[in-house]
Structure 1
Amino acid sequence: MTSSIEHNQQGDAKYTQAELINHTEALFAVKAEVLYGALSEATAQTFSIAEAQERINQFMKAKVKG
């Protein structure tokens, strides 16, 4: 299986949104829908594990607009 992993200057691996969503439960202990929502407004195409976790945390703490 090939992976489109990128590395930034600090050496943190970056993964595509699809790759992260495929492994959401194992990596973040949340459903894929949560990660999808957390990344839905992101302009970046790739994310490190830490970046994705931070977006999930912000998404889970956000107030519901209604």
Structure 2
Amino acid sequence: MASFLKKKLPVLPQYTRAELMNHSEALFAVKAEVLAGALHEAAHQTFSIEEAQARINQFLKAKVNE
């Protein structure tokens, strides 16, 4: 019999907005204001480092409406 092992995806640590904003320059090389803008419309309150970085990248690439 072949047994199948279920591989779990690694659970990434989650951080609050405040924690990420306090360390935004060290973690993401952006000011806290940029991170605040990137996370502004997010529904949840905790983020992984990777998720926050992806939101920052998307925020910085967004076109400005005049």
Q: CA RMSD in A?
A: 0.9
Deviations 1:31-50 (A, max 9, x none): 11000000000001100000
Deviations 1:17-64 (A, max 9, x none): 010000000000011100000000000110000000000000000000
Higher strand share: 1
Task: Count the aligned residue pairs.
Answer: 58
- TM-score norm. by structure 2 comes to 0.84
The unaligned stretches of length 5 or more in structure 2 are: 1-8
The unaligned stretches of length 5 or more in structure 1 are: 1-8
SS at match of 2:14: strand
Identity %: 69
Q: Which amino acid aligns with 2:50?
A: A
- TM-score norm. by structure 1 comes to 0.84
Structure having the higher Rg? 2
